[in-house]
């Protein structure tokens, strides 16, 4: 449409529409719209500066070329019973009649007809063309069209290939007029009405409403054009039915209707693309729902594991503290009952005192603590293995759903990446679970605990068992009170020395037991906390690539939905403005 034909208000809107559509195109490119779809929108935007475009579609042998020639009033395009249009043909105004073959798929016919200054016509390969490449070109021209003349033949009305092609072009929201060509093959009107009713019935199902249908005979119209006798020419023209079609096209393509289609077509293309992206985003969002549930479940496994470790470890350590507290009390009782004047003969025998101390005070405390530590080790190893198995089960379930979903489909890059991550993480977890050796894990943890206790204990010791280590540590806390003093000194000063030594021994024992308890529990707490933290970290690290990908996808979907809402609002505003300027 030439700008001189627009009012100032319409020219302003046209400029605003171009700018808005360019911005919408840029936003759509950020939403991963295909290059082909963006090119279609670009062509629709460029169409705002082009002539009105009518596209003629239908099967070959439906008489499309003959119809174009009849509408133009001259035989510009070749006609025939076999496919004569092997490429898309653009008919436009030119100083002289000429054909220019642009490439193997596009030809341009020019002709000095005044009508072609206002109107361009595209003749297309048949919807059942042998060379399917031509259908793709037809699909590229249809989105640019302002009006589609869907031509079907009266001898083969609305074939399956035509019906399928009609479904494809409906998505672009184009104005479609149906032409029933070769109407002259019927000898009576009843037969023509029957075929017309058939076409209307089936097209109405697809369109949701009865379309405009024009029975015509392009052959009779062409005969009329070459008929020298005025009366005969008028009769042929009337019988062709072409006048009604031309009148409809003329009334449809008046200035207001033309501008309405011109302004609205690129908006329709943009709305269609926004709808396609929205449908794609909704599909992706639906698919991500399962991933979101999976990652939530995995996070719950990890956080639950961490919570259980934090809540269950202190009571288990408290049991060791209880054992040490009972040991301390027995030691104090031992000093009260042993360091007495009545036991002077025994006190001079340090080896006997030490033996009694070990028997009645130390008793089986090292074994008790060792057994409790072993139970803690088994508890931690078993819990660790259980969590890995839980993680594996969730990933296997998600992988199974993913495989079921993509059967028979060509996965897109995002689905492929998701599947790769699920497979990769799943294999890592599966390997850990399959190779998990509880005995080895327990042995390594026990060794780490022993080393930690030895490094923080009261004595420097070599690589011995935890029980032997504790025995050494506890006995070393009482060595200085089991030899006490020489027998002669006790005989002379026992009355004064023994109570003092007993008090001194108890105080020293309490201090050293406190140190032992603190250091032992600290060593065990630190070691088990470190082991637990390491187990949790390994779990998190194993699933992080998958959870990070899903989180990024969820954020992308949310951002895309916000952008689409903005685009829909903008397109709605443009629709309203286009109506106001008309």
pLDDT per position as a tens digit, 477-533: 554 544 444 444 444 444 445 677 678 777 877 887 787 778 778 877 888 888 888
Contacts of 336 (CB under 8 A, 6+ apart): 502, 506
Question: How far, in whole angstroms, is CA 193 from its chain's centroid?
Answer: 53
Q: What is the mean pLDDT of the chain?
A: 77
d(CA 360, CA 168): 94
Q: What confidence tens digit (pLDDT) does each residue in 23-39 have?
A: 999 998 888 788 888 88
Pinpoint the residues of the chain covered by CATH 3.40.50.300. 51-253
What are the distances in angstroms from CA 140 to CA 228, 296, 507?
Answer: 41, 44, 97
Check if the beta carbon of residue 531 is closer than 8 Å to that of residue 330: no
Residue 215 confidence (pLDDT):
93
Q: What confidence tens digit (pLDDT) does each residue in 189-199 have?
A: 888 889 899 98
Residue 410 confidence (pLDDT):
47
pLDDT of 411 above 60: no
Check if the beta carbon of residue 177 is closer than 8 Å to that of residue 211: yes
pLDDT confidence tier of residue 126, bands split at 50, 70 and 90: confident
Give the CA count within 13 Å in the CB-facing half-sphere of 411.
Answer: 15
The fold adopted by the segment(s) 51-253 is Rossmann fold (3.40.50)
Residue 559 confidence (pLDDT):
92
Helix (H) or strand (E) holding 91: strand 88-93
pLDDT of 139 above 90: no
Check if the beta carbon of residue 253 is closer than 8 Å to that of residue 119: yes
Mean pLDDT for 42-60 is 79
pLDDT of 440 above 50: yes
- 463 by Cβ neighbours in 10 Å (0-12 / 13-18 / 19+) ranks as exposed
Least Cα distance to 481 among 498, 493, 465 occurs for 498
Region of residue 546 (left: phi > 0; alpha: psi -120 to 50; beta: else)? alpha
Check if the beta carbon of residue 291 is closer than 8 Å to that of residue 550: yes
d(CA 466, CA 456): 13
Residue whose token pair is 């003629």:
56
d(CA 396, CA 404): 12
Mean pLDDT for 459-473 is 56
Q: What confidence tens digit (pLDDT) does each residue in 82-99 have?
A: 455 567 888 888 888 888
Check if the beta carbon of residue 213 is closer than 8 Å to that of residue 284: no
Mean pLDDT for 537-547 is 84
DSSP symbols for 233-297: HHHHHHHHTHHHHHHHHHHHTSHHHHHHHHHHHHHHHHHHHHHHHHHHHHHHHHHHHHHHHHHHH
Question: Which residue did the predictor score with more confidence, 466 or 157?
Answer: 157
Q: What confidence tens digit (pLDDT) does each residue in 317-331 have?
A: 898 889 888 888 887
pLDDT of 424 above 80: no
Q: What confidence tens digit (pLDDT) does each residue in 255-290 have?
A: 677 677 778 888 988 998 999 899 888 888 888 888
- Judged by DSSP in three states, 316 sits in helix
Residue 449 confidence (pLDDT):
53
pLDDT of 565 above 90: yes
Q: What percent of the chain has pLDDT over 90?
A: 7
Question: Which residue did the predictor score with more confidence, 443 or 338?
Answer: 338
- 397 by Cβ neighbours in 10 Å (0-12 / 13-18 / 19+) ranks as middle
pLDDT of 415 above 90: no
Token couple for 181: 């060509």
d(CA 37, CA 273): 7
Phi, psi of 100 (to 5 degrees): -125, 115
Mean pLDDT for 439-454 is 58
d(CA 187, CA 176): 28
Token couple for 223: 């005969």
pTM of the complete model beyond 0.85: no
Contacts of 518 (CB under 8 A, 6+ apart): none
In the β-sheet with 106-111, what is the strand arrangement from edge to edge? 98-103, 106-111, 88-93, 119-123, 52-57, 147-153, 176-181, 213-215
Token couple for 517: 């308890």
Question: Which residue did the predictor score with more confidence, 553 or 257?
Answer: 553
pLDDT confidence tier of residue 468, bands split at 50, 70 and 90: low
């Amino acid at each position: 449409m030439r700008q001189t034909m627009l009012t100032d208000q319409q020219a302003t809107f046209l400029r605003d529409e171009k700018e808005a559509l360019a911005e919408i195109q840029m936003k759509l490119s950020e939403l991963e719209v295909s290059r082909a779809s963006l090119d279609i929108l670009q062509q629709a935007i460029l169409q705002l500066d082009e002539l009105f475009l009518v596209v003629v579609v239908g099967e070959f042998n439906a008489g499309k070329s003959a119809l174009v020639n009849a509408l133009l009033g001259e035989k510009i395009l070749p006609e025939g019973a076999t496919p004569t249009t092997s490429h898309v043909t653009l008919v436009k105004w030119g100083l002289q009649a000429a054909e220019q073959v642009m490439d193997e798929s596009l030809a341009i016919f020019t002709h000095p007809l005044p009508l072609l200054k206002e109107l361009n016509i595209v003749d297309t390969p048949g919807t059942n063309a042998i060379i399917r490449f031509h259908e793709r070109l037809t699909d590229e021209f249809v989105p640019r069209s302002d009006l589609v003349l869907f031509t079907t033949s009266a001898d083969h009305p609305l074939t399956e290939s035509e019906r399928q092609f009609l479904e494809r072009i409906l998505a672009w929201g184009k104005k479609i007029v149906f032409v029933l060509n070769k109407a002259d093959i019927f000898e009576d009107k009843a037969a023509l009405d029957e075929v017309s009713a058939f076409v209307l019935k089936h097209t109405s199902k697809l369109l949701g409403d009865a379309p405009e249908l024009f029975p015509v005979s392009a052959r009779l119209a062409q005969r009329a054009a070459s008929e020298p006798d005025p009366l005969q020419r008028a009769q042929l023209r009337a019988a062709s039915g072409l006048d009604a079609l031309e009148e409809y096209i003329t009334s449809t393509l008046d200035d207001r209707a033309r501008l309405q289609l011109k302004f609205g077509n690129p908006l329709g293309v943009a709305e269609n693309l926004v709808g396609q992206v929205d449908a794609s985003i909704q599909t992706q969002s639906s698919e991500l729902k399962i991933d979101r549930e999976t990652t939530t479940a995995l996070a719950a496994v990890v956080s639950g594991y961490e919570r259980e470790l934090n809540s269950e470890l202190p009571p288990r350590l408290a049991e060791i503290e209880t054992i040490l507290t009972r040991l301390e009390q027995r030691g104090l009782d031992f000093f009260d009952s042993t360091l007495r004047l009545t036991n002077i003969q025994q006190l001079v025998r340090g080896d006997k005192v030490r033996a009694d101390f070990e028997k009645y005070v130390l008793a089986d405390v090292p074994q008790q603590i060792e057994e409790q530590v072993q139970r803690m080790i088994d508890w931690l190893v078993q819990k660790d293995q259980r969590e890995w198995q839980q993680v594996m089960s969730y990933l296997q379930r998600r992988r199974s759903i993913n495989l079921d979903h993509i059967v028979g489909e060509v996965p897109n890059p995002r689905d492929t990446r998701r599947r790769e991550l699920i497979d990769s993480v799943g294999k890592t977890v599966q390997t850990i679970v399959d190779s998990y050796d509880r005995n080895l894990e327990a042995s390594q943890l026990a060794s780490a605990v022993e080393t930690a206790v030895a490094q923080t204990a009261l004595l420097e010791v070599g690589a011995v068992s935890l029980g032997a280590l504790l025995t050494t540590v506890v006995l070393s806390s009482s060595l200085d009170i089991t030899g006490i003093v020489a027998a002669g000194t006790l005989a002379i000063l026992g009355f004064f020395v023994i109570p003092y030594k007993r008090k001194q021994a108890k105080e020293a024992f309490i201090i050293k037991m406190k140190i032992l308890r603190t250091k032992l529990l600290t060593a065990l707490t630190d070691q088990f906390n470190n082991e637990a933290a390491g187990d949790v970290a390994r779990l998190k690290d194993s699933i992080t690539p998958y959870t990070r990908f899903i989180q990024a996808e969820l954020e992308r979907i949310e951002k895309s939905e916000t952008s689409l809402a903005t685009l829909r609002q903008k397109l709605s505003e443009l629709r309203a403005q286009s109506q106001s300027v008309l």
